[in-house]
Amino acid sequence: TQARLAHAQRMEALGQLAGGIAHDFNNVLQATRSGAALIERRAGDPEVVRHLARMVAEAAERGTAITQRLLAFSRRGELRAEPLDPAGLLASMREILAHTLGAGVEVRTRVAAGLPPLLADKGQLETVLVNLATNARDAMDGAGTLTLAARTERRAEADSPGHPVGLQPGHYIRMAVTDTGCGMTPATLARASEPFFTTKGPGKGTGLGLAMARGFAEQSGGGLHIESAPGRGTTVTLWLPVAEGDARPAVGGGEAAMPAGG
């Protein structure tokens, strides 16, 4: 039956995910172990030891990132929402992405002046933006323009074209990631944010990037919408709630915990 087939596909995808994570994690452990072994052998040379210690620390950081990805997926990762300045966030993302996406990708920002703070988990939002940018780079085959944009939107009605289904009326920051890449066919677009849906082939895509981005936006009280056409590029837009009034923390304080949901 349909349900059994869907279950079988999900188990297959979970198996692939587990395989991918085992592979990534194994690489991290390998780097940690060989770094530690080298430190033992080169203990007499402080310069080399410092370098190796850094390498071990970086491997451990990658290991933490992998477990965080898993936790976020299993929804046990707690969202810690805090007021964030959209302009500052996108400026620092632009700098990070300009370094990581490769010389062929031009990274631009287009941010409306005087935006109010949004309310979201900073680390998760950054992870989502990096995932969206990585998809964009893949779609552009390493060359093109990536634009990070932000503006506000006050919504009066619940559903309208070009918006996430079920997005509640309210005051939002719209954050959009636009690429000049290959775009998606209607069939791909229809399934793009399903968990485990990928067109990238085994070992390359997990099919979790857009699913996690959507989950994050919805758990933050917003939503996600994708606009894409073959040959015309893709725009993924996140709606995130504006941090109203009291949500602005006093200096050094104020952090609102959000339910993990799911």
Which residues would be at the binding site for ligand ADP (CB under 6 A)? Answer: 135-136, 139, 179, 181-184, 188, 192, 197-200, 205-211, 234
Nearest-approach distance from CB 233 to ligand ADP, in angstroms: 7
Measuring CA to CA, which residue among 62, 61, 66, 64 is closest to residue 18? 66
Helix (H, G, I), strand (E, B) or coil at 222: coil
Write the DSSP assignment of 17-32 as a string of letters. HHHHHHHHHHHHHHHH
Nearest-approach distance from CB 148 to ligand ADP, in angstroms: 13
Nearest-approach distance from CB 17 to ligand ADP, in angstroms: 10
Nearest-approach distance from CB 94 to ligand ADP, in angstroms: 17
Q: Which is nearer to ligand ADP, 213 or 240 (CB)?
A: 213
- d(CA 246, CA 154) in angstroms, rounded, equals 19
Measuring CA to CA, which residue among 53, 106, 86, 88 is closest to residue 174? 86
Q: Which is nearer to ligand ADP, 173 or 177 (CB)?
A: 177
Q: Which is nearer to ligand ADP, 54 or 108 (CB)?
A: 108
Q: b/e string for 114-124 if b means 16 or more Cβ within 10 A?
A: ebebbbbbeeb
Q: Which is nearer to ligand ADP, 46 or 201 (CB)?
A: 201
Q: Which is nearer to ligand ADP, 54 or 204 (CB)?
A: 204
Which residue has its beta carbon closest to ligand ADP?
209
Q: Which is nearer to ligand ADP, 7 or 204 (CB)?
A: 204
Sign of CA dihedral 153, 155, 160, 163: positive
112 contacts 152 by C-beta, under 8 angstroms: yes
How wide is the angle at C-alpha 164 spanned by C-alphas 162 and 165, nearest 5°?
110
Nearest-approach distance from CB 214 to ligand ADP, in angstroms: 9
Q: Kindly give the residue spans of alpha helices, DSSP state H, lying in the chain.
A: 2-41, 46-73, 86-100, 122-140, 186-191, 209-219
Q: Which is nearer to ligand ADP, 56 or 189 (CB)?
A: 189
Nearest-approach distance from CB 125 to ligand ADP, in angstroms: 16
Nearest-approach distance from CB 169 to ligand ADP, in angstroms: 28
- d(CA 250, CA 27) in angstroms, rounded, equals 43
